[in-house]
């Protein structure tokens, strides 16, 4: 079954809206850590955090406590900088997703441009692998980027699904699904693990997983955290896991 990685950043976004300077005090709520633990119990197979340079949501103390307390897999989203590579090597998350980082953006807006930064990214990937961390590269579903990811020696990519999520017409949605399909096929043929994420939600998830093959993990944040405000974190995670499970059951039946 495709695994769910819950991106917990937006729980911290809500906390920082009120407790910008005292996020580590006992009354600063909501606390992402117990909610991450709840999500694991409800079926999330990993917890993703993006420790941004400007610390706008997740804080260092969140990452430290998550590292100690979560039972599944910690995936650290990080910029490709020597400081963040050193941070990851010390923290030792199981996985690290290398992303572009731009101070002005509201969230990660595009994939890494590997064509302009192969050496720098290859160096970070090699250091992370040596440190026992599985790196993945957050890239657009573009053939040139996927070939570059393989050349760099990354074991894993995360396909940026933002263009699919933002597509509004039936034709645009079909076009984006075809790009994702082709990208996943290409990456799989090159021996890369295929993850995906950004903008996936309760309505666009089923068509995505029905079309795109070889998916290992989907990292989903905003839609689950938003739904958790309405129904609670455990129910919100269970609803997404049910969509993934339904797909796994259809596949298993087809194999019989
Ligand atoms: N994967 C990556 C690399 C991201 O940067 C983000 C956004 O933080 C996500 C997945 C999750 O996106 P969303 O919050 O839209 O589900």
How do the domains of the chain map onto residue ranges? Answer: 3-255
CATH homologous superfamily of 3-255 equals: Aldolase class I (3.20.20.70)
- Range 205-210 contact pairs with CB under 8 angstroms and sequence separation of 24 or more: 205/240, 205/243, 205/244, 206/243, 206/246, 206/247, 207/173, 207/177, 208/161, 208/164, 208/177, 208/180, 209/2, 209/243, 209/244, 209/247, 210/247
Collapsing DSSP to helix, strand or coil, 6 comes out as strand
- pLDDT < 70 positions in the chain: 103-109
Let me know: does 44 contact 71? Beta carbons within 8 Å. no
Q: How far apart are CA 77 and CA 100, in angstroms?
A: 10
Collapsing DSSP to helix, strand or coil, 255 comes out as helix
What is the DSSP code (8-state) at residue 2? P
Closest ligand 1 atom number to CA of residue 162? 15
User: According to the model, what pLDDT value does residue 105 have?
Assistant: 64
Q: How far is the CA of 256 from the centre of ligand 1 (A)?
A: 35
Best of 137, 138, 158, 197 for a ligand 1 pocket test (most atoms within 8 Å of beta carbon): 197
Q: How far apart are CA 137 and CA 153, in angstroms?
A: 10
User: According to the model, what pLDDT value does residue 104 have?
Assistant: 63
User: According to the model, what pLDDT value does residue 248 have?
Assistant: 76
Task: Concatenate the DSSP letters of all residues of 173-222 into one string.
Answer: HHHHHHHHHHHHHHHHHTT-EEEEESS--TTTHHHHHHH--SEEEEEE-H
Residue (of 238, 146, 157) closest to 186 by Cα position: 146
Beta strand ranges found along 51-122 (DSSP E): 74-79, 95-99
Q: Is 50 in the pocket of ligand 1 (CB under 6 A)?
A: yes
Q: Is 161 in the pocket of ligand 1 (CB under 6 A)?
A: no
β-strand partners of 208: none
186's tokens = 């290409």
User: According to the model, what pLDDT value does residue 103 have?
Assistant: 55
Best of 84, 98, 140, 221 for a ligand 1 pocket test (most atoms within 8 Å of beta carbon): 221
Q: What is the pLDDT of residues 202-250, one digit of tens each?
A: 999 999 999 999 999 999 999 999 999 999 999 999 999 999 999 877 7
Ligand 1, atom 3: nearest CA belongs to which residue? 138
């Amino acid at each position: 079954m495709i695994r769910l990685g819950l991106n917990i950043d937006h729980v911290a976004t809500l906390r920082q809206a009120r407790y910008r300077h005292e996020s580590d005090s006992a009354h600063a709520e909501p606390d992402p850590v117990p909610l991450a633990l709840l999500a694991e119990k409800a079926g999330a197979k990993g917890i993703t955090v993006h420790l941004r340079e400007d610390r706008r949501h997740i804080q260092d103390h969140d990452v430290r406590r998550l590292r100690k307390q979560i039972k599944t897999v910690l995936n650290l989203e990080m910029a490709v900088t020597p400081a963040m590579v050193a941070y990851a090597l010390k923290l030792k998350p199981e996985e690290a997703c290398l992303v572009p980082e731009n101070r002005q953006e509201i969230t990660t807006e595009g994939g890494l441009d590997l064509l302009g930064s192969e050496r720098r990214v290859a160096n970070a990937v090699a250091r992370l692998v040596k440190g026992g961390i599985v790196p993945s590269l957050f890239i657009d579903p573009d053939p040139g980027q996927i070939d570059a990811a393989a050349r760099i020696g990354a074991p894993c990519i995360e396909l940026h699904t933002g263009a699919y999520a933002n597509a509004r017409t039936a034709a645009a949605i079909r076009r984006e699904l075809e790009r994702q399909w082709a990208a996943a096929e290409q990456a799989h043929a090159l021996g890369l693990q295929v993850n995906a994420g950004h903008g996936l939600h309760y309505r666009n998830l089923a068509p995505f997983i029905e079309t795109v093959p070889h998916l290992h993990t989907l990292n989903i944040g905003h839609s689950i955290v938003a739904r958790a405000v309405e129904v609670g974190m455990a129910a919100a995670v269970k609803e997404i896991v049910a969509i993934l499970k339904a797909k796994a059951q259809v596949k298993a039946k087809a194999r019989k």
